[in-house]
Structures are given as C-alpha cells and as structure tokens.
Amino acid sequence: MYFATEGVILARKNFGEADRLLTIYTKDHGKISAIAKGVRRPRSKKAGHLELGNWCKVFVAKGKNIDLLTEVEVKRAFGIAEFGEKKANKIYHLLEIVDILTPHNQKNLRVFSLLVSFLKKTSNGEDFNLVSSAFKTKLLSALGFFSSHNLKDSKAKDVLLVLENEDFSVVAGKLNLTDSSYLKLLSFLDSMIESIAGQKLKTARFLT
C-alpha cells in the first residue's frame, strides 16, 4: 500500500550504511517515521530534498515494521540549506517542539497548518519572540494541553488569551512586550512543554 501526502521533516538520523530514518509531520497521517534508502550515497537524488525543516510532498510505501519513503518533492526549504545558521536554529526549535509533543500516526490538521505557517513567519524574519510565543501557545492549545481560559484573571492571562485565540496579524498589533516579559512568558511555556514531554528541550529559545 502506498500513500502520498505533504509533510515537514522534523528529525533524521543515520540508519545502516547509506540510509536515513526520517521523522515527518504529515498533513494526512500526523507524525510518521520512514526510511529513505540510499540517501547518504554521493549520487542520491533524494539527499538534497531531505534537509531538516523542508516542507515536501512525500510518497510512502507502508511496510510491515517500518514505512519506506519512495519519492520526495520539495515544496519549500525552511532548513539550513536555505538560511544561515542563526535562522536555521530557530526553525529547529519549532521542529523539536512539534516532535516531542506529538504522538505517531495521529492526524491533526491544525498542528500541520500551524507548523507550516510559523515556519514561513520564521523564515521571513518576523520577530521570533512573538513567533515563538504564539506558536507554542497555539500548539499546546491544538493538542489539548492548555487553555488560557482556565487561568486566573491576570495580565498574563490577557496576553495568553490573545496569543491562543487571535490570528498572528492581530496578535502582532495587540501585544507590545518587553524582552524581559518575553523571557518570562517563554520560560513559562517551555517549562510546560518540558513537563508534558518529560524531557528537556535541546534547542534554546533563541531570543532576539
């Protein structure tokens, strides 16, 4: 059985002599793992398409134990191949968060849409304090881990209500936080993410 879908490459690691094991967040199947055969060979045509953060169309063959990626077409490269290291590291931060919070094989179209949308904002140079705050709040909400409505009335609740419920264009116009306020907010969100995932984030917040 084969299927085609869109996906963003969240993680990868070497497998065997010439293969890679990929973690991909897909539009139609949620997070999946798939082997890309032979991509570490010098003449592999797939290698350049499988950078971290790339948004791709993928063709996958279902396997008994693990799926096999048979073809890949890049829709947009969000990874280090397109940008400098500083911007790429911000992208990796978003990828890691989706990876550690999401289960395998559970479709969530809102999560996929959030990931692609906020990768675009990061690559376009939007204020990463704002991007990171909005992305984390909306992602935690989309996964059912958080609702700002449950917080006690406070300035923090007002900020989180905006981040959770408003479109990004509206958020950017409504919030004007200091670096110190962003630091507190992101520390709160990252602590929540780490508590839910049961592990520490490997990427930093990359405050700018």
Instruction: Give the domains, in start order, of the chain with CATH numbers.
Output: 2-76 (2.40.50.140), 85-197 (1.20.1440)
Q: What element of type H or E holds 159? A: helix 155-165
Contacts for 157-162: CB closer than 8 Å, 24+ residues apart: 159/185
**pLDDT interval class at 115 (50, 70, 90):** very high
CA 109/CA 87 separation, integer angstroms: 25
The whole-chain average pLDDT of the chain stands at 90
For residue 84 the two structure tokens come to: 């400098």
Share of the chain above pLDDT 70, in %: 92
